[in-house]
Amino acid sequence: MTGPRAQWTLPGAKGELIHGETHSPDGDATAAVVLVHGFKGYKDYGMLVHIAGSLADVGCVVHRVSLSHSGMGHGHGDFDEALFERDTWNRGIEDLLALNEAIDRGDLAGAAGGVILVGHSRGGALSLAAAGRHVDDGLLGAVRGVASLSAPARLNGLDDEATAGLLAEGRIPSPSSRTGQVLHVGVAWVQEQLDDPEGHDMQRLMGRISVPVLLIHGADDPTVPASDAALLQRYGPEGVQMHLVAGGTHVFNTPNPFDMAAMPSPQLADAEAALLRFVQGAC
């Protein structure tokens, strides 16, 4: 795919490191895309490398990131279990602010067309929440659009019993089928939501977004139902776009790791085509 790639790190939330890889286009970039992984994801996960390459092919500079508390660095290694347990929505948003500041300073490449936030699953919800909190206060002033793939419509997907258990125990197990590690969600993740319900209310946050939004979702997603995309569209201002991918799963029928020499699934190709149209229109 188009252009060179370069790895980097920069400080994120609580001084922990964001690990990233930049895909550069041939010629001047039309937009800078920050591409964010989902829960237990990371920058090298499955379809994300292919999506980044496709965006670079149409002229975007793409910063594909492993957030500071994802527990992941470069490659497909094990998770840092202590970092993973300390992850919260606020820390993810702090990372997005740090990335935006790095682009503003020139530490990461920017573009005349501004910044587009693109996130998968939890990363999509994180990008939408960050835009709802900060696009109009200047902290994310360069953001020109937000696109989510398979994003949930709630920031706390736990039921009341599970939430009570997390508060009582201080953490709950969340095994990784990829590495075999027994990871944990820490109590800070839910406590900050209880302390600031407005700041974690997706209905309220979606209603505050003032830039173009695209919601891409697999019609057959078994992890986050496609009805969540319809809810997010309903929560948002007029003009929020939704694109359903026929037969699409949560990862658009793409394995992890993905062989970059292979053809993308029809579902991933459909999702990418919608994303490319949106990004080119937003910038």
Model pTM greater than 0.95?
yes
Q: Of 259, 213, 254, 282, which Cα lies nearest the Cα of 59?
A: 282
Alpha helix ranges (H) inside 106-237: 122-134, 160-169, 187-195, 202-208, 227-235
Tokens 């997603």, residue? 221
Q: What is the DSSP string of 60-118?
A: EEEEEEE-TTSS--SSS----HHHHHT--HHHHHHHHHHHHHHHHHTSS---TT-EEEE
Q: Cα(164)–Cα(127) distance, rounded to whole angstroms?
A: 27
Q: Cα(132)–Cα(151) distance, rounded to whole angstroms?
A: 15
Give the model's pLDDT for residue 279.
96
Give the model's pLDDT for residue 2.
56
Give the model's pLDDT for residue 180.
97
Q: What is the DSSP letter of 59?
A: T
pLDDT in tens, 195-232: 999 999 999 999 999 999 999 999 999 999 999 999 99
β-strand partners of 60: 31
Q: Cα(181)–Cα(184) distance, rounded to whole angstroms?
A: 9
Exposed e or buried b per residue across 161-179, where buried means at least 16 C-beta atoms within 10 angstroms of its C-beta: eebeebeeeeebeeeeeee
Tally of CB atoms within 10 A around 281:
12
Q: 138: Cβ–Cβ under 8 A, 6 or more apart, which residues?
A: none
Give the CATH fold of the 5-155+189-282 domain.
Rossmann fold (3.40.50)
Per-residue pLDDT of the chain (283 residues; tens, 9 = 90+): 556 799 999 999 999 999 999 999 999 999 999 999 999 999 999 999 999 999 999 999 999 999 999 999 999 999 999 999 999 999 999 999 999 999 999 999 999 999 999 999 999 999 999 999 997 788 898 999 999 999 999 999 899 999 999 999 999 999 999 999 999 999 999 999 999 999 999 999 999 999 999 999 999 999 999 999 999 999 999 999 999 999 999 999 999 999 988 999 999 999 999 999 999 987 6
Q: Of 137, 157, 135, which Cα lies nearest the Cα of 145?
A: 135
